[in-house]
Structures are given as structure tokens and as C-alpha cells.
């Protein structure tokens, strides 16, 4: 059976959600949100803030290894940052070649690098050379900026730079997050390189997972939004079979939702805390009618006390 990996999702899945999702089971690995490497030397606390798991052997409390993702376009600075990060003992270092955010792209980082395979190779080689051999360096790419003309060249460049494996999110930057994901392109990449390729994009269910593996020929799959919307997805994939019992799942999820809220209240300022809960509930609505109902009750609430009360009724816990 191949690996199922929890995708990096800046602003959606932080260490708290990684903890809860990997605790439910089924994930073999996870990748942190990106740490942006710019001109200034990054203090070690920046890595620990994005990936607090570094304080705990670079694993979630359930023991799932977490790779730390770096994003930047300058090979030497990326290498310096990777060397510093390596001091903290990450399970691995992943390089971002897919972020479509304008603030990142304006400085030539993330998905814009897909225009320049030679630079991608230099970044990968510089980072690989700066980090002890025992720490895997991996990469994650989209298909291109606006077309697939350079897809295979980008994959070859990363392979020549010495990466250990490659996640392919099967869309161009311009395609954003719009379905479909072009899984057939993942198959083409897989056939063109000899490093393992991990398939990514639009896996929301067990049947998506199966079709994605069949079509791409990849054994390993990375799941992003589907993991947040359906926290039991990876566990069901592992179990392979059986009907989905959403009511039973919700009963198991309710205490975790409560824990999530209690911990959000501790680490997020009060005026932003309800927003964090709404963000997860908004994803969960896709799978759970109970989440839809709860979302309806909390969506207009802005105070922590009001959300406390709504959640207490819904989960029957507080």
C-alpha cells in the first residue's frame, strides 16, 4: 500500500489541525506550511513557529513525520536557510514550486519558478548540498505557470538537483484550485523521472484516491482540502472498504472539534478565534450535515462566549 501524505495548506491547516488529523489515523507523513526565504537571515524561531513539531522530533503527537517546506527563489539563501533548519532536525525539507500567491510570485518565488527550470535545478542542488544526507530533500510543483510546455523540464531539473521525491499538483498556476486536476500529466511526469512521484489534486473520496492511483500509476498520494473536509478519509482509505457512517464519524469528531476550539482560544486572539473555527466548519459542511447546521449557527457570531454556547449545544460536551 502506498503512502498517504497530508498536504501543506498555509492558512488552513497548521500544527493544531495536523495534530488532530494525524491522530485520526491513515497519514504516513505531513508537510508544514511554507516558510518564506527572503533576503534576511531567518531566526530559528521562525521555523519553530510554522512547524512546532520540530520541538518534538519533527513528528505530530501521533508520531507522523512532518517535513518543513521552504519557499524562495535565491539558491544561496535557500541553502543557508536549509542548513539552519537542518540544525533543528526536520524529518525532511520540502521545496515549494507551486504557490500562486501574488505576494510570493512578485518576487519570483513559488509557481513563477516553473518558468525557469535551470534555476529550479540550482535551488534544489544548493539545498541538497547544504543539508546532511540523512535529511531527505523533496519538492512540490504545479504543472507550469500557464501551460504544460515546461512541465517535464521542471521535473527533470528537480531530479538533477538531487531531490528524493516529487509531489505533482496537477494544475497550472493559472488554473488555481479549479477542478479538474489533470492527473494524466502526473503519469507523464512519473514516466519521465526516476525519483518517486506523489500524485496530488482533487482527491476527496476513496474512489478519487483509487482512480487517481490508477490513472497516474503513482502509489503515493498527497491529500489537501479533502483531508480537512473529511478528517476520516485517510483512515477509511487504509481500512479499504465498508460503508461510510457519517453519524458515527461525527460522534468521534465532536470531542476533537471541541478540543480544536479550546486550543484555538488559547493561541489565537479573541477577535480572530471564531474565524478559525468557522474556517474548519466551512470545510466540514461538505461531508457532515451536523457541521452544516453548526456552521449556520456560528457564522454570524463574533464573540468567543457566543461560540462557546453554540458549540456546547451542538456537541453536547461543555
Positions in the binding site for ligand FMN (CB under 6 A) = 7-12, 33-34, 69, 96, 98-99, 140, 169, 177, 200-203, 223-226
Beta-carbon count within 10 A of 285 CB: 17
Instruction: Kindly state the smallest distance separating residue 132's Cβ from ligand FMN, in Å.
Output: 23
Instruction: Kindly state the smallest distance separating residue 269's Cβ from ligand FMN, in Å.
Output: 21
Q: Is the dihedral of CA 80, 85, 87, 92 positive or negative?
A: negative
Asked whether 59 and 66 are in contact (CB, 8 A), the reply is yes
Nearest alpha carbon to residue 227 among 211, 251, 205: 205
Nearest-CB residue to ligand FMN? 224
Asked whether 131 and 164 are in contact (CB, 8 A), the reply is no
**Whose Cβ is closer to ligand FMN: residue 225's or residue 276's?**
225
User: Would residue 154 show up in a list of annotated catalytic residues for this protein?
Assistant: no
**Whose Cβ is closer to ligand FMN: residue 31's or residue 86's?**
31
DSSP 8-state assignment for residue 68: E
Cell (9 digits) for 195: 525519483
Instruction: Kindly state the smallest distance separating residue 151's Cβ from ligand FMN, in Å.
Output: 15
**Whose Cβ is closer to ligand FMN: residue 142's or residue 315's?**
142
Asked whether 261 and 311 are in contact (CB, 8 A), the reply is yes
**Whose Cβ is closer to ligand FMN: residue 210's or residue 297's?**
210
**Whose Cβ is closer to ligand FMN: residue 96's or residue 315's?**
96
Asked whether 130 and 102 are in contact (CB, 8 A), the reply is no
Instruction: Kindly state the smallest distance separating residue 88's Cβ from ligand FMN, in Å.
Output: 19
Nearest alpha carbon to residue 205 among 98, 286, 285, 279: 286
Give 173: exposed, middle or buried? Use CB within 10 Å, 0-12, 13-18, 19+.
buried
**Whose Cβ is closer to ligand FMN: residue 6's or residue 310's?**
6
Instruction: Kindly state the smallest distance separating residue 124's Cβ from ligand FMN, in Å.
Output: 15
DSSP 8-state assignment for residue 13: B
Cα separation of 206 and 203, whole Å? Answer: 8
Cα separation of 149 and 36, whole Å? Answer: 27
3-state secondary structure of 30: strand
Strands 4-6 and 29-36: parallel
Instruction: Kindly state the smallest distance separating residue 32's Cβ from ligand FMN, in Å.
Output: 8
51, 99, 154, 218: the catalytic one is 99
**Residues annotated as catalytic (active site), given as ranges:** 99
Amino acid at each position: 500500500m502506498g503512502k498517504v501524505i497530508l498536504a501543506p495548506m498555509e492558512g488552513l491547516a497548521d500544527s493544531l489541525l495536523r495534530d488532530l488529523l494525524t491522530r485520526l489515523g491513515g497519514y504516513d507523513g505531513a508537510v508544514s506550511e511554507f516558510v518564506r526565504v527572503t533576503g534576511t537571515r531567518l531566526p530559528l524561531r521562525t521555523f519553530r513557529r510554522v512547524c512546532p513539531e520540530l520541538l518534538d522530533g519533527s513528528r505530530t503527537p501521533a508520531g507522523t513525520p512532518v517535513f518543513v517546506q521552504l519557499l524562495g527563489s535565491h539558491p544561496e539563501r535557500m541553502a543557508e536557510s536549509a542548513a539552519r533548519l537542518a540544525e533543528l532536525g526536520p524529518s525532511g525539507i520540502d521545496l515549494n514550486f507551486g504557490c500562486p500567491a501574488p505576494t510570493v510570485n512578485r518576487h519570483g518565488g513559488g509557481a513563477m519558478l516553473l518558468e525557469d527550470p535551470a534555476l529550479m535545478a540550482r535551488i534544489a542542488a544548493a539545498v541538497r548540498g547544504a543539508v546532511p544526507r540523512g535529511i531527505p530533500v523533496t519538492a512540490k510543483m504545479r504543472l507550469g505557470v500557464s501551460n504544460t510546455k515546461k512541465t517535464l523540464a521542471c521535473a527533470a531539473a528537480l531530479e538533477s538537483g538531487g531531490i528524493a521525491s516529487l509531489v505533482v499538483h496537477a494544475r497550472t498556476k493559472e488554473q488555481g484550485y479549479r477542478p479538474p486536476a489533470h492527473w494524466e500529466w502526473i503519469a507523464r511526469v512519473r514516466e519521465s523521472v526516476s525519483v518517486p512521484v506523489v500524485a496530488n489534486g482533487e482527491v476527496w473520496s476513496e474512489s478519487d484516491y483509487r482512480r487517481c492511483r490508477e490513472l497516474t500509476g503513482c502509489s503515493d498520494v498527497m491529500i489537501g482540502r479533502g483531508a480537512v473536509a473529511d478528517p476520516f478519509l485517510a483512515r477509511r482509505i487504509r481500512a479499504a472498504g465498508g460503508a461510510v457512517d457519517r453519524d458515527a464519524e461525527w460522534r468521534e469528531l465532536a470531542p476533537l472539534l471541541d478540543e480544536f476550539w479550546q486550543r484555538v482560544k488559547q493561541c489565537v486572539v479573541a477577535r480572530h478565534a471564531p474565524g478559525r473555527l468557522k474556517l474548519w466548519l466551512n470545510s466540514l459542511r461538505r461531508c457532515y450535515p451536523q457541521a452544516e447546521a453548526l456552521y449556520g449557527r456560528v457564522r454570524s457570531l463574533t464573540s468567543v462566549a457566543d461560540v462557546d454556547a453554540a458549540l456546547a449545544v451542538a456537541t453536547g460536551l461543555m
